[in-house]
């Protein structure tokens, strides 16, 4: 089961698909934390605004982290 604290330190976009068995108040708090992250759908793809310094920073960060991951697992 999820806990309220699970949403406290979110700093990245997250797909969140709670089950019907999760407590409604906890689900709502985590959904609010996710919505507070200042990125729109497509921020690292076709809808990226690379003229926006913050969007560019986040875009570069996500692709660097992805590349680092695949380099580490040697895929």
The residue length of the chain stands at 75
Question: In this predicted structure, what is the pLDDT of residue 7?
Answer: 80
User: What local confidence, expressed as pLDDT, does residue 4 receive?
Assistant: 81
Residues 10, 66: Cα–Cα separation, whole Å: 18
pTM of the model: 0.56
Give the pLDDT score at 75. Answer: 65
pLDDT by residue (tens digit) across 28-68? 998 888 887 778 888 899 999 999 999 999 899 989 989 99
How far is residue 46's CA from residue 61's CA, in Å, rounded to a whole number? 16
Domain boundaries, the chain: 1-37, 42-75
Give the confidence band of 17 by pLDDT, cuts at 50, 70, 90.
Answer: confident
Structure tokens belonging to residue 16: 């969140």
Residue 14 predicted with pLDDT over 90: no
């Amino acid at each position: 089961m999820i806990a309220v604290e699970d949403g406290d330190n979110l700093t990245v976009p997250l797909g969140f698909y709670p089950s019907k068995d999760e407590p409604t108040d906890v689900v709502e708090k985590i959904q609010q934390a996710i919505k507070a992250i200042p990125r729109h759908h497509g921020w690292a793809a076709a809808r990226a605004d690379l003229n926006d310094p913050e969007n560019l920073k986040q875009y570069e960060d996500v692709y660097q982290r992805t590349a680092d991951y695949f380099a580490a697992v040697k895929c």
